A = this chain, B = another copy of it.
Amino acid sequence: MANSLSGDSMTERIVRVLDTFTIDRTVQTATEIAARADLPVSSAHRIVGDLIDAGLLERDEDKRVRLGLRLWELALRGSSALRLRQAALPHMEHVQALIREHTQLAVLEHEEALFLERLSHPDAGANITRIAGRLPVHASSSGLVLLAHADPSIRERVLAGPLRAVARETATDAATLRAVLASIRRHGYVIAPGSIEAVSTGVAVPVRDHGEVVAALSVVLPRESATSAAVDALLDAATAIEQDLNLSR
């Protein structure tokens, strides 16, 4: 009943419509959405109309559409990510007060690092990360921490490649990455200079919930910065978050 002639479900097509909105493209016409979602214009218009009726999209004065707050509300209100992010935020603020660059929280989502939160000092250096943005697990410091503690089947799938060079210094051979992941498990942190951007160094540690690694806490520093204060601040914050998570259920 809900399937189109081409066999994709209505849900899939709704996701394709929502997926055309990005941090750099928050407003579109239904016709633009049709092209970007690879849907017939008539289908896109009908889906956009339904989504507007349901409050998941909103139409502005110029008949262009944007994501509705109702979608944000539905996605966040019952989300387990909200519990993690709420437990982490006060301790991220403490790291941020000490290090004054970028402090970030990421989780593993379909073999990528998905960033739940980012705090940034107004004068901080370069940082490609965005809230609700993703980075490859083999390149970002957060991703490496998540990969080090991921289910072995996920780790093997990622290491089997392809492993894209995000920057000139990104490690893209499995043997080097295996050594990095083993080091993370042994030492409890990673320092990844230049693996996402030549001008930055990522520092990340695991965050555990009842013993299981559920997130990576990281800072992004200018390339030549000292890293020991960041490692200490992150390890202290991760311990504090874990204690709060242990208390919270």
Residues on A facing B (Cβ under 8 Å):
1-2, 4, 9-12, 14-15, 18-19, 21-23, 25-26, 46-47, 50-51, 53-56, 66-67, 69-83, 86, 89-90, 93, 107, 109-110, 114, 119, 122, 130-134
Contacts and interface: CB of A to CB of B under 8 A. Distances in A.
A131 B80 contact: no
Given A25-B78, A78-B67, A133-B77, A47 B1 contact: no
A67 B79 contact: yes
Given A26-B79, A75-B71, A54 B131 contact: no
B11 A69 contact: no
Nearest to A28: B78
Contacts of A76: 72, 75, 131-132
A146 to B, nearest CB: 13
Nearest to A82: B131
Given A21-B79, A22-B78, 10 more contacts: A9-B53, A11-B14, A12-B50, A21-B77, A21-B78, A22-B77, A25-B78, A67-B78, A73-B109, A77-B130
A74 B15 contact: yes
Contacts of A70: 15, 109-110
A81 B72 contact: yes
A144 B22 CA distance: 32
A12 B72 contact: no
Most central of A2, A81, A109, A130 by chain B CB within 10 Å = A2
A29 B75 CA distance: 18
Nearest to A119: B89
7 contacts: A9-B54, A11-B54, A11-B56, A15-B55, A21-B74, A66-B80, A67-B75
B56 A26 contact: no
A53 B16 CA distance: 13
Contact of A53 (B12, B50, B80, B132): B12
Contacts of A1: 1-2, 4
A81 B46 CA distance: 25
B21 A10 contact: no
Contacts of A69: 79, 81, 107, 109, 114
